[in-house]
Amino acid sequence: MQQYGMVIGLTLLAVVVAVAFALAAKAARGVEQFRDEHHVHFTGRKDG
Amino acid sequence: MSDTPKNESRAGTALDEGNAVVEARPSQSSDKAILHQYGYAQQLLRDMGGFSNFAISFSIISILTGAVTLYGTGLNAGGPVIMGIGWPLVTLFVLCISASLGELASAIPTSGALYHWSALLGGAGWGWFTAWLNLLGLVAAIAGIDYGCAQFMVPLLNLPDAPVSYLSVFGVILLTHAILNHIGIRAVARLNDFSAVYHMVGVAVVVLALAFFAPKQPVSFLFTKTFTTMSDKPYWFAFLSGLLQAQWTYTGYDASAHTIEETKDARVRAPWGIYLSVAVSGVFGYLMLAFVTLAIKDLDKTAAASNPFIFIFEQALGGVFGKIVLWTVTLAMWFCGLSCVTSTSRMIFAFSRDKGMPLSSVWANVSRKFRTPAAAVWLASILAFLLPCLIFGIVALRPKALDFGKLYPAVTGISTVALYLSYGFPLLLKVRAVRKGIWSRSTDGPWSLGNWSMPVAYISIAWIAFITVLFVIPPNDLTGYIFGGTLAALIFLYFAAARGRFAGPVPQATSEEEMRRIEAEFEHNIEGTV
């Protein structure tokens, strides 16, 4: 632990940040895609 | 499920074995129209925006509450490393769980949330168990938070250190929460908005004060300093036990889903509320824990203190600042409890709407004046009040064998395990539905992880299974016994009273006209009727 703690800790922090942004980006793309496919604005109305 | 009465169809034009979701998939985009597709009328006031939806979950996670009440537990189990490595480790898995739950909220946007998802995907039995576990977890959470708030408040108000003082203050705290939740979601939403800002500013003040005025350990202290008071266990096990601190903090974010019928553009905003409440708590929680831990002067003395978190402040910045932090945390706990009552009452309301609870017709009542589930609000508050009373009663019966100080922390463990099991069931059932081809891409709501959905769900389920075992084995065996007993009672109750009688989600109306008639009763806002 004494030897590898810093490496483990900093790597873990980097992974958490990367995963958090990746999941958010994936979900945001999902919302965009849904809007394009269904022509829906999320304000309770439909396009045309 | 075979126990669904044939003469009563489930909400969402249910089919057997979970086909309900496909059939119930909304074809219209407005929030109200989607709710109608599931057979429910818009009874609650839909007035919450995205920030308010995020704020309610962020307030329940309440990094100031979780970190302070269980900081000593974490420090004694794993030392500084539990803050430096344990917190991000738990955050990583909770992010996956929140994303998976966000997907379900987006696909099935109803207040019953976890319970409703399980019932639609697995049938009435799964729904019933999910509901009761969720309810048990939420009531235990209210009790844990508000009783914790009372424990902080009694010495601050110079009241005598006696059970009657704690129970009286606890009762008053619950009363304020019940009244505010009764009179309206608008008031509660504004308070939650303020609470979210309060938590962020509170953490910023703590971090800046410690950064500028407190002596600091080197950064390596966070990642390399192993320490444990659990001398009879190997360090790796003690470290894992200490994860309870972070895992207990990260509970209650299902509130964004429970208030989904009160959120505008719910299918997008509620999932973001779930996910972002975890992500933002992760960042602010880590900053706070890191700076507090780096300010430790003497690790042995800190670990032995009655509240190590406050002890660190008193040592680093003096008694006055320690007292300011104490008041800051106490107020954060009050906000946390307020949001928790909101979430629990919506859960009770939704479950009662589907006739899942004893006296369901009472708890499913919505105040026509305030458009809140007023009866459910009071039930949630009363149940939370009874829990510590029950513990006091049990301890009074066997004072030599039992100790309130040991029995009560088990409540946090029970809350964590029950809540996470209630998160795990719908995820497991969704995975099963996908594998059986019942759930496809077209079933997803707008907030979807696409082809990442299944791997993330698998990771989430695996982590929930892991922590469920971890938090019921020694040294948390007391939690295990109480939770095991509760689970056995639930199984008995299900087979004795619920199986065959509880039908799962039941539509309130079958035609648009009937739906509009129900809604008109609330929109006319009959004065004086509560």
Q: How far apart are the first and last CA of chain A?
A: 61
Nearest CB to A27 within list B28, B99, B223: B99
Tokens of B481: 């016994």
Is ipTM beyond 0.85? yes
Contact B265 A44 (CB under 8 A): yes
Q: Report how far residue B406's alpha carbon sits from residue B498's, in angstroms, rounded to the nearest whole number.
A: 34
Q: Let me know if B207 is exposed, middle or buried by CB neighbors in 10 A (0-12, 13-18, 19+).
A: middle
Nearest CB to B275 within list A13, A27, A40: A27
Nearest CB to A42 within list B81, B222, B265: B265
pLDDT for position B5 = 37
Contact B446 A9 (CB under 8 A): no
CB B221 within 8 A of CB A6: no
Tokens of B141: 């959470």
Tokens of B199: 């938590």
- Smallest CA–CA separation between A10 and chain B, in Å? 8
pLDDT for position B1 = 35
Angle at B263 between CA B258 and CA B269, to 5 degrees: 95
Q: Report how far residue B256's alpha carbon sits from residue B261's, in angstroms, rounded to the nearest whole number.
A: 10
- Using the Cβ of A37 and the Cβ atoms of chain B, whether some distance falls under 8 Å is answered with no
Residues of B within 8 A of A38 (CB-CB) are 29, 446
- Using the Cβ of A24 and the Cβ atoms of chain B, whether some distance falls under 8 Å is answered with yes
- Smallest CA–CA separation between A45 and chain B, in Å? 6
Contact A31 B447 (CB under 8 A): yes
Tokens of B139: 């009531």
- Smallest CA–CA separation between B29 and chain A, in Å? 6
A44 band by pLDDT with thresholds 50, 70 and 90: very low
- Smallest CA–CA separation between B98 and chain A, in Å? 10
CB B65 within 8 A of CB B284: no
Q: Report how far residue B351's alpha carbon sits from residue B208's, in angstroms, rounded to the nearest whole number.
A: 45
The phi and psi torsions of B409 (rounded to 5 degrees) equal -60, -20
Q: Report how far residue A21's alpha carbon sits from residue A11's, in angstroms, rounded to the nearest whole number.
A: 16
Helix (H/G/I), strand (E/B), else coil: B473: coil
CA distances from A25 to B265, B394, B452, B525 (A): 19, 50, 12, 42
CB pairs under 8 A between A and B: 99
Contact A5 B81 (CB under 8 A): yes
**Exposure string (b/e) for B44-54, b if CB count within 10 Å is 16 or more?**
bbbebebbbbb
Helix (H/G/I), strand (E/B), else coil: B371: coil
Contact A45 B89 (CB under 8 A): no
Contact B446 A19 (CB under 8 A): no
The phi and psi torsions of B38 (rounded to 5 degrees) equal -90, 5
CB B350 within 8 A of CB B116: yes
CB B69 within 8 A of CB B300: no
Peptide bond into B88 cis (omega under 30): no
Q: B495: which residues sit within 8 A by CB, 6+ positions away?
A: none
Tell me which DSSP letter residue B48 carries: B
Contact B446 A15 (CB under 8 A): no
The single-letter code of the amino acid at B153 is M
- Smallest CA–CA separation between A39 and chain B, in Å? 10
pLDDT for position B370 = 86
Helix (H/G/I), strand (E/B), else coil: B248: helix
CB B204 within 8 A of CB B308: no
- Using the Cβ of A25 and the Cβ atoms of chain B, whether some distance falls under 8 Å is answered with no
Q: What is the CA radius of gyration of chain B?
A: 23
pLDDT digits (tens, 9 = 90+) for B60-76: 999 988 878 889 999 99
CB B64 within 8 A of CB B213: no
Tokens of B330: 């106490």
Tokens of B488: 């056995």
CA distances from B220 to B86, B217, B286, B307, B399 (A): 15, 8, 15, 24, 45
pLDDT for position A41 = 55
Contact B222 A16 (CB under 8 A): no
Q: Report how far residue B445's alpha carbon sits from residue B265's, in angstroms, rounded to the nearest whole number.
A: 12
Upper half-sphere CA count for residue B386 (Cβ side, 13 Å): 8
- Angle (deg, nearest 10), helices B124-156 and B410-435: 150
Tokens of B232: 């009879």
- Give the dihedral sign, CA B415/B421/B423/B426: negative
Tokens of B313: 């402040």
Q: Which of the two residues, A46 and B379, has the higher pLDDT score?
A: B379
pLDDT for position B427 = 97
- By residue count, chain A amounts to 48
Q: Choose, out of A23, A32, A33, A35, the residue to mutate when testing the contact with B (most B CBs < 10 Å).
A: A23
Residues of B within 8 A of A21 (CB-CB) are none
Residues of B within 8 A of A37 (CB-CB) are none
pLDDT digits (tens, 9 = 90+) for B19-59: 444 344 444 458 888 888 888 888 888 888 999 999 999 99
Angle at B63 between CA B164 and CA B447, to 5 degrees: 125
Q: B200: which residues sit within 8 A by CB, 6+ positions away?
A: B280, B284
Contact B88 A20 (CB under 8 A): no
- Give me the residues paired with residue B183 across strands: none
- By residue count, chain B amounts to 530
DSSP string, B2-56: TTS-TTSPPTTT--GGGTHHHHT---S-SHHHHHHHTT----S---B-HHHHHHH
Nearest CB to B448 within list A15, A30, A46: A30
The Cα diameter of chain B in Å comes to: 70
Helix (H/G/I), strand (E/B), else coil: B306: coil
Residues of A within 8 A of B29 (CB-CB) are 38, 40-42, 44-46
- Using the Cβ of A10 and the Cβ atoms of chain B, whether some distance falls under 8 Å is answered with yes
Q: B72: which residues sit within 8 A by CB, 6+ positions away?
A: B303, B305, B307, B308, B309
Residues of A within 8 A of B96 (CB-CB) are 19, 23
Spans in chain B with pLDDT lower than 50: 1-28, 526-530
H-helix or E-strand spanning residue B133:
helix B124-156
pLDDT digits (tens, 9 = 90+) for B172-187: 999 999 999 999 878 8
Candidates B85, B77, B80, B83; CA nearest to B63 is B83
pLDDT digits (tens, 9 = 90+) for B300-331: 999 999 889 889 988 888 878 888 888 988 99
Candidates B121, B13, B107, B108; CA nearest to B441 is B107
Q: Report how far residue B98's alpha carbon sits from residue B14's, in angstroms, rounded to the nearest whole number.
A: 26
pLDDT for position B358 = 92
